């Protein structure tokens, strides 16, 4: 059985697992397959990539508009729950539950169950669900999953109200198993703004031939960001997301360095001569022979980097832990890193 621990629910630094990939985000294919109730706000909102919003004075015919999943006040036995399909199946390291703006209507308790299903699930299609609840047909279809028997990744625990100082709750998950689906239970009803499942994708490499070209840096293939120098405007894990970036916020952007000289100069190759650099470190999803590298600056028209360099090395799990946990990648492994791509100018194509 898996176990979990609560990190905190206040204004404190988030745990390290939030640097990993959100395996249920809508942008990577996460889907809500079933929900008992969507009266005030549909469960699909849980998986949005952006932060929740609050619109003062905005009401629907069913009540106050809320950016999250909110069920009606329960007047029948039981509790509300939903089934979520991970966009990227993998090993789960932690949950982030955000009750932002749900102050007098937040779900007071939750639990999370998981399953690794080998077959595709066939359930009735969910449409615009606001103002509705699951039908008898929906319940009969979902009963075949026996989701109430799925393994608990998080036992029933209390949440905190959606004020700025208390809306974020983090839960560590101690499991090395692969998961494909999540059952999120709320007790007995209420609202949650966002639900994030952080972890590392895991795929079956046995079907991959020795000469097949694979994106070893894709989160779907198990890649994960281990460290970085700066993520002021966008996290470097966005670089390993699925497909092309939706907008500039869906990439990696750092703050402008304050130590840059007042007048910039370039060498004969067009490389700007500035002190320092920004960096990020990834673990590949699988060891391999690197033959192609693609650098995509889509959307970054006035703020793309002048130049870049790519290096690679081979580390054991113990060596990686020492560099990541102990040294935070501050100690350079000059004798280990091999240059794959020397410093070169990044060309802009509009």
Task: Render pLDDT for 39-67 as a digit per residue (tens, 0 to 9).
Answer: 999 999 999 999 999 999 999 999 999 99
- CA separation for the pair 244, 197 (Å, rounded): 22
Percent of the chain topping pLDDT 90? 84
pLDDT band at 121 (very low <50, low <70, confident <90, very high): confident
Please, what's the b/e burial string for 43-66 (b: 16 or more CB within 10 A of its CB; e: otherwise)? bbbbbbbeebeeeeeeeeeeebbb
CA distances (Å), origin 45, targets 119, 195, 209 = 26, 9, 39
Global pTM value:
0.92
Task: Render pLDDT for 190-231 as a digit per residue (tens, 0 to 9).
Answer: 999 999 999 999 999 988 888 899 999 999 999 999 999 999
Q: Domains, the chain, ranges and CATH?
A: 3-201 (2.60.120.260), 209-350 (2.60.120.260)
- CA separation for the pair 271, 277 (Å, rounded): 12
pLDDT reported for residue 334? 65
DSSP notation for 151-207: EEEEEEEE---SSTTT-EEEEEEE--SEEEEEEEEEES--EESEEEEEEEE---GGG
pLDDT reported for residue 2? 57
Exposed/middle/buried for residue 323 (C-beta within 10 Å: 0-12, 13-18, 19+): buried
pLDDT reported for residue 109? 99
pLDDT reported for residue 333? 60
pLDDT reported for residue 319? 87
- CA separation for the pair 154, 2 (Å, rounded): 8
Q: What backbone phi and psi angles, to 5 degrees, belong to 225?
A: -80, 130
- CA separation for the pair 287, 75 (Å, rounded): 54
Task: Render pLDDT for 275-312 as a digit per residue (tens, 0 to 9).
Answer: 999 999 999 999 999 999 999 999 999 999 999 999 99
Closest listed residue to residue 51, CA positions, set 196, 194, 197, 233: 194
Residue 331 above 80 pLDDT?
no
CA distances (Å), origin 182, targets 8, 87, 147, 232, 289 = 22, 11, 9, 31, 35
Task: Render pLDDT for 131-145 as a digit per residue (tens, 0 to 9).
Answer: 999 999 999 999 999
Task: Render pLDDT for 143-173 as a digit per residue (tens, 0 to 9).
Answer: 999 999 999 999 999 999 999 999 999 999 9
Closest listed residue to residue 191, CA positions, set 67, 95, 62: 67
The label of the residue with tokens 């990577």 reads 28
Mean pLDDT of the chain: 93
Residue 5 above 70 pLDDT?
no
């Amino acid at each position: 059985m898996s176990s979990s621990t609560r990190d905190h629910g206040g204004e404190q630094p988030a745990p390290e697992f939030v640097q990993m990939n959100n395996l249920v985000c809508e942008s990577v294919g996460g889907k809500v397959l079933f929900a008992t109730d969507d009266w005030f706000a549909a469960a699909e909102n849980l998986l949005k990539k952006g932060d929740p919003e609050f619109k003062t004075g905005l009401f629907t015919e069913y009540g106050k508009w809320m950016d999250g999943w909110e069920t009606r006040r329960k007047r029948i036995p039981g509790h509300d729950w939903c089934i979520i399909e991970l966009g990227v199946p993998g090993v789960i390291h932690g949950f982030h539950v955000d009750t932002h703006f749900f102050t007098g209507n937040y779900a007071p308790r939750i639990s999370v169950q998981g399953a690794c299903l080998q077959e595709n699930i066939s359930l009735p299609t969910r449409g615009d669900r606001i103002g509705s609840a699951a039908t008898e047909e929906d319940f009969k279809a979902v009963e075949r999953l026996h989701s109430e028997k799925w393994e608990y990744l998080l036992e029933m625990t209390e949440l905190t109200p959606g004020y700025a100082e208390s809306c974020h709750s983090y839960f560590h998950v101690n499991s090395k198993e692969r998961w494909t689906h999540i059952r999120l239970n709320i007790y007995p009803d209420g609202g949650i703004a966002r639900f994030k499942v952080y972890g590392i994708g895991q795929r079956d490499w046995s079907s991959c031939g020795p000469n097949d070209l694979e994106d070893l840096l894709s989160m779907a293939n198990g890649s994960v960001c281990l460290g970085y120098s700066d993520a002021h405007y966008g996290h470097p894990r966005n670089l390993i997301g699925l497909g092309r970036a939706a907008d500039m916020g869906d990439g990696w952007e750092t703050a402008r360095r304050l130590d840059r000289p007042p007048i910039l100069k370039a060498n004969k190759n067009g490389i700007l001569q500035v002190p320092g650099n920004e960096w990020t470190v990834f673990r590949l999803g699988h060891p391999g022979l690197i033959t192609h590298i693609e650098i995509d600056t889509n959307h970054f028209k006035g703020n793309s980097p002048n130049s870049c360099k790519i290096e690679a090395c081979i580390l054991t799990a113990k060596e990686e832990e020492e560099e990541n946990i102990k040294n935070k990648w501050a100690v350079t492994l000059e004798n280990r890193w091999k240059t794959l791509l020397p410093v070169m100018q990044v060309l802009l194509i509009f």
